[in-house]
Chain A
Amino acid sequence: MTGSTEWPLWEVFVRSRRGLSHTHAGSLHAPDAEMALRNARDLYTRRNEGVSIWVVPSAEITASSPDEKDSFFEPSADKPYRHPTFYDIPEGVKHL
């Protein structure tokens, strides 16, 4: 059979049109960054879905851990004063 030379995995981010940010589209295998970009172009934008692509080696991504979900994200849930709807403004006041 074959030698084990599985190409590394890359995460693909696609900007679907100008003015929008890049969004995670999926992943693919490629031997290097140049080929990863090209494979991403062929795979994830063959229906005109993109104007710009980023590829990142999957192994290079640092992600928050689901075990830390509570300490990471819950504390921001009880600070409603960060949101404009928290404040009562008299009716008729404009441009605020």
Chain B
Amino acid sequence: MATAHQPLTTAPHQPAAAAVDTAALESAFDAAVAADERIEPRDWMPDAYRATLVRQIAQHAHSEIIGMQPEANWITRAPSLRRKAILMAKVQDEAGHGLYLYSAAETLGASRDDLLDKLHSGRQKYSSIFNYPTLTWADVGAIGWLVDGAAITNQVPLCRCSYGPYARAMVRVCKEESFHQRQGYELLLALSNGTEAQHAMAQDAVDRWWWPSLMMFGPPDAESSHSEQSMVWKIKRHSNDELRQRFVDICVPQAESLGLTLPDPDLKWNEERGQHDFGAIDWSEFWSVLKGNGPCNDQRITQRRRAHDEGAWVREAAAAYAAKQSERKEATA
């Protein structure tokens, strides 16, 4: 049935006659997903699929934006001009990645203002990892190596996510992020090979960031509430535990060549499994940080909210100027 054309970004119009036909639409959708076809913005999709995507993409975007803070904390103190340029470019990329992701969420009918509002009021989350503080310069390296490393492990499969705009945003993000992890590793390597004090600084940072990085993959599969449906929808391609294991196996040899120790006495190679065994994660810490009791939860949201509120007059000014300009144009036309 022919419908009026709509702007690209609005939710698809669902024709009345098709309402009875939801089952047919749903099975067409399921078939497309099963066949690894991409779902595009104006396609019919189940409400729950849309809601899950908006929630996940928004949380991802919020994480990029909040994630600027712990690293920006060191821009003004970067110890060499080369490191300063790298760090500025990295924090800038995070703003850019947030923008790509908000755009992707907007193709589902969400508005950025609304999503930011939900972030500022605590109704939507961001990755808990950013509620930990960056206490020394080495933390910038640990974030690059471990936090970005974990993020990349999570994100690479998302490049094949069933929702087209999200998958495309992730392709761009992953391409750009490949330098983020490398710069972190290189930074830590310089410290590890440096003076005694620098080496100690690097080890201390790895000690503090290792376990929170493992928590970034989310709760164990058995306790993960959204996982199963997301796997069917191909929003998620691998389980939390699977990705966590992959990350641990990647990090162990990298830590060795860094000359740094991962703070887990139970970490060892399991010949039988062909993987590393590792110690139990303290999930009570994870849930506690998630509930708002991390070291920096308040600080992060307060800064974000302040930047947004203090920027209101700027956004209003530009909107007012644009309105005046179009009035002037009309008057002279």
Contacts and interface: CB of A to CB of B under 8 A. Distances in A.
Interface of A: 1-7, 9, 11, 26-29, 31-32, 35, 43, 46-47, 58-59, 61-68, 71
Nearest to B117: A1
Contacts of B322: 31-32
Contacts of B107: 27
A71 to B, nearest CB: 8
Contacts of B112: 6, 29
Interface in B1-55: 1-3, 5-9, 12-13, 15, 18, 40, 42-44
Classify chain B's interface size. 35 or more
B75 to A, nearest CB: 17
Q: What's the dominant secondary structure at chain B's contact region?
A: helix
Contacts, number: 84
B275 interface: no
Interface string B93-107: 000100110010011
B96 A43 contact: yes
A7 B3 contact: no
Contacts of B43: 66
B7 A27 contact: no
A8 to B, nearest CB: 9
Contact of B42 (A7, A9, A28, A66): A66
Contacts of B3: 65, 67-68
Contacts of B6: 63, 65
Given A1-B309, A4-B113, A28-B103, A35 B9 contact: no
Interface stretch (B219-227, B246-254, B310-318): B310-318
